[in-house]
Amino acid sequence: MLKVSGLSVSYGGLHALADVSLEVGEGEFVTIVGPNGAGKTTLLKAIGGGVVPAGGRIEYRGENIAGRPSHARARLGIAHVPEGRKVFSSLSVLENLEMGSYRSAARPLRAEGLEGVYRLFPVLRERRTQLAGSLSGGEQQMLAIGRGLMARPDLLLLDEPSQGLGPRIVEIIFEAIAAIRRARRLTILLVEQRVVEALELCDRGYVLETGRVTLVGERETLLADPRVQHAYLGA
């Protein structure tokens, strides 16, 4: 479904990504892990259309979309849930969710999509008339994920969904991501610093360090790799 080849991104002459290549197959759950500053968020922004690559290809269903704007990629079925949540603070929870369903394929299924999000995150039903800016950080993250799901995407990009959240809320978020996968077999590309939780969810993973892919493998292979255990698992 997604193939990134030789992707490079620079900011002010500094290389954020250098010759990064990865693949995500239809129905796969792929995780990208790595330390702060590794380029993980930049990679998702490049795939979603938020930054312009200096070089390389981003192929979605066989078509190079590297030059397409983010709204055009969204119409193709790519939903990006960004780092830091970025909900519309002055709109209600319901209005935020409805904003997610602007894609033509999603609009006829808006009511069904809302019920699905409310089942996944019951607190959003309770808060549906509340302004999004008044929600807790965890509730805003639930809203951001719900808004992404409202687009009925084929590929869901999740950027650091656990960022800044307490352990119990993180557990709820990861349980929800697992439930999303079970329900729809949705293709997911997850960027996350919580290495154990992220790798336990995925089929395959990539380790990104200083803008380059340093390891790639199946979930069990990466969890058992001494380099991963030493650098990220405290072993």
* H-helix segments, 31-190: 40-48, 70-76, 93-99, 110-120, 122-126, 137-150, 167-184
Nearest Cα neighbor of 8 from 51, 37, 50, 69 is 51
What pLDDT score was predicted for residue 184? Answer: 78
pLDDT digits (tens, 9 = 90+) for 100-117: 998 888 889 999 999 999
Residues 144 and 167 in one domain: no
Residues 169, 226, single domain; the answer is yes
Range of the domain at 148: 85-153
Same structural domain, 159 and 116: no
Tell me what pLDDT residue 235 has.
57
Nearby residues of 107 by Cβ (< 8 Å), 6 or more positions away: 101
47 and 110 assigned to the same domain: no
pLDDT at 157: 97
For the domain that residue 22 is a member of, what is the CATH number? 3.40.50.300
Which regions of the chain are under pLDDT 50? Answer: none
Indicate whether 201 and 91 sit together in one domain.
Answer: no
